[in-house]
Amino acid sequence: MKICFCLHNHQPVGNFDHVMDSAYRNCYLPMLEALENHQGITSGIHISGTLLEWLVQWHPDYIERTGELCRNGRMELLTSGRYEPVLTVFRRFDIVQQIKDYSDYLEQLSGGRPDGLWLTERVWEPQLPSILTEAAVSWAVVDDIHLKRAGASGMDLFRPCITEDSGKILRLLGSNKELRYRIPFSPVRSVMENLRVMHDSGAEMVFYGDDGEKFGVWPGTRKLCYEDHWLDRFFSEIESAEWLDSVLPSEAARTEAAGPFYIPASSYTEMGSWTLHGLLRDEYDKLEEQLDNRGSSGDTKVFLTGGFWRNFLSIYPESKELQGRILSAEPLVRRSENTEALHHFWRSQCNCAFWHGVFGGIYLPHLREAVWKELHKAEWKALKTLEAYPLILTADINADGFDESVIVTQTRSLLIHPDRGLTVSEITFLHPDGEPTPLGHTLSRPSEEYHKYIPGAGSDSAARTIHDDMASKEDGLAEKVMIDRWRRMCFSDLVMSSSIHSGSWRKSDQEITHFQKPAFSSSARITDSAVSFSGEFVEGELRIWKRMTAYLKKPLIETRTKYSVMPGDRAGMEICLNLMTGNSPDRYYRIDSGENHLMSEVGEFHGKRIEVFDCWRAVKTSIVTNCESEIWVTPLDSVNRSESGYERVHQGAAFYIWGIADDAGIFNLEIHMSMEALNDI
């Protein structure tokens, strides 16, 4: 029986160097050494563009050794979208071009042009065969569950399977689930017995494709695989088994194929459940439990698919917004014909900050910041090349049925929502050299299914899959979960009874009225110096009139709001900023030039000037009101899971600037928000 190994090594755009270096030392390098030492083992390997460029810069010897294995016929590289995008959510032409571009690069490094593709997060949609064949890909890796959902069964799962779209044929290698779940967590003898059963049943080929990080990065696997020599023992068993023959993926893909089969939109099983939230997830879990109680086989549960990847664009509005901004920027980047801009644009598509499962994903501020920075760098280089400042674009960026406004000047990038209460979700300061500092990219906190399962603090050093039960990184996390009723962004208008205290605001209680909704009436005006918006917003008997001016020649936004509410009501505006952490002394706020407060500090103040200092990224934000106001401050901390356990993550800080309506129910508030580089002060 032929056995084929394929590994996927990936690190996200924006990941910390020390994390990548740890993965290199604990996983990528010892795995390469194991493959070099076992000459009877051949393998395919996919290295995502982010990781590969990091290795080229910091560990060129690793690249040389990988190239040597390829030239000796013991390894082959797989292609993909250059920086690991989910292929189906970006434009076809762009995806085809970046796959070809990455294949060119891999050919330079290894001497052979790849014709196989590692499918990002195994996110499959039926149009992929025609897209991939246009990019000169002849085979791709999926999970065997994809093939089962298409009707493949029996021995068809132990050979390549053919699919097609518009007459364009693509071969698929389905990674065997039993092996994925056993390797490297079961004893070597148990895995070999499992392989022998496959052989004796008549299987001609078994394909194993999985994350390389399972061999040194996942909890406990460094010790298991290398200190306890699990991997060496496994490879030795394969080499000594006369009934097994290790082959390259391209050889496996060329063997006699089954099909055609037509795969529905899907990914791996866990992804299907992660993309469901709320009542849908509850119903999914009930169905899964019913099948378990009835003793249903795994093959029956194959058709309990859950949702698919695009659901994340609905669950997390920040994800859809980023994807929409990327799509809106593409024509500009293309017109510029600037290669650097194009690569920044491709890097902004890295999938990890768009979604969330076990890995922290969208909950990790440094990953969100990284892809937004790449997008801003792409636009900055393109606009500079074309001498096209300012960029003013009106489009439905987030596919909510209403147009948003994108404004990019030489000092700032904004995304304004005229029909969501004249709010601003993207505020990025651009330094003179084009270095972007995203400030407004906070993350609102949705309800997650796993919140109900958060345990107390604990630790576990045993080797385990990341899908096992997890511990908490601190006690009391379950009590710290907060769910936001409105999006936490800039210039959100809030009204509440004066009896409501600040704790209710921090928890976004039901008693608070927000105006993130379509305007009753609105207008916009563009001049050489500014873009102005006006809107009237109504909620029951409450009404506000709001005007926002975004200046084009200086990083300044002004708002003027008239609140018509119940006499004695508290009315005002919330501004949320993300400085990446709440506990670093180089990031803090001041009220009226008073003492410094960490961004994690809750506070209640009286004043008319807020200064927010980001000394790490060298930006100061000033928020000045027309009158003495009350100011509440709270950190926005999420409670989410990651591969190492449940954790609290700082997503930004909210400033609520408010006053009390007079006897006629009127309160007027003006806010001037400006940004400047700290090194210019």
Same domain (yes/no): 512, 430 = yes
Same domain (yes/no): 296, 394 = no
Domain contains 258: yes
Same domain (yes/no): 417, 284 = no
State whether the Cα torsion 313-319-325-331 is positive or negative: negative
Q: Which two tokens stand for residue 482?
A: 């907060």
Q: Which two tokens stand for residue 80?
A: 């993909």
Count of CA atoms in the C-beta half-sphere (13 A) of 191:
24
Strand partners, 558: 549, 672
Same domain (yes/no): 16, 94 = yes
State whether the Cα torsion 504-505-508-512 is positive or negative: positive
Give pLDDT, residue 463.
Answer: 54
Domain contains 376: no
Low-confidence ranges of the chain (pLDDT < 70): 297-298, 457-469, 680-681
Q: Which of these, 267, 268, 45, 253, lies nearest to 169 by C-alpha position?
A: 253
Same domain (yes/no): 217, 290 = no
Per DSSP bridges, beta strands 404-408 and 412-417 are antiparallel
Give pLDDT, residue 50.
Answer: 97
Q: Which two tokens stand for residue 522?
A: 């609105």
Q: For the whole model, what pTM was predicted?
A: 0.95
Domain contains 116: yes
Give pLDDT, residue 546.
Answer: 98
3-class DSSP string for 485-545: CCCCCECEEEEECCCCCHHHHHCCCCCCEECCCCCCEEEEEECCCEEEEEEEEEECCEEEE
Distances (CA, A) of 108 to 94, 103, 367, 394, 534: 21, 9, 29, 42, 55
Domain contains 29: yes
How many domains does one find in the chain? 3
Q: Which of these, 416, 346, 350, 426, lies nearest to 381 by C-alpha position?
A: 346
The number of beta carbons lying within 10 Å of the beta carbon of residue 153 is 12
Domain boundary among 245, 280, 309: 309
Give pLDDT, residue 459.
Answer: 47
CATH of the domain at 595: 2.70.98.10
The number of beta carbons lying within 10 Å of the beta carbon of residue 547 is 16
pLDDT tens figures, 38-65? 999 999 999 999 999 999 999 999 999 9
Contact of 487 with 446, CB cutoff 8 Å: no
Please state the separation of Cα 109 from the chain's center in Å.
Answer: 28
Same domain (yes/no): 260, 277 = no
Domain contains 22: yes
Per DSSP bridges, beta strands 570-577 and 597-598 are unpaired
Same domain (yes/no): 257, 291 = no
Can you list the alpha helix ranges (DSSP code H) found in 123-183? 128-134, 144-149, 177-182
C-alpha 323/C-alpha 317 separation (Å) is: 10
CATH of the domain at 135: 3.20.110.20
Domain contains 352: no
Same domain (yes/no): 618, 568 = yes
Domain boundary among 213, 246, 267: 267
* φ/ψ (deg, to 5) at 173: -105, 115
Give pLDDT, residue 503.
Answer: 95
Same domain (yes/no): 500, 538 = yes
Please state the separation of Cα 561 from the chain's center in Å.
Answer: 35
Same domain (yes/no): 657, 604 = yes
Same domain (yes/no): 295, 395 = no
Domain contains 534: yes
What single-letter DSSP state applies at residue 597? E
Same domain (yes/no): 246, 156 = yes
Strand partners, 299: none
Domain contains 560: yes
Contact of 492 with 486, CB cutoff 8 Å: yes
Contact of 263 with 150, CB cutoff 8 Å: yes
Domain span holding position 278: 270-309
Helix (H, G, I), strand (E, B) or coil at 667: strand
State the helix-helix crossing angle for 339-347 and 317-336, rounded to 10 degrees: 170
- Torsional class of 268: left (φ above 0), alpha (ψ -120 to 50), beta (otherwise): beta
Contact of 640 with 615, CB cutoff 8 Å: no
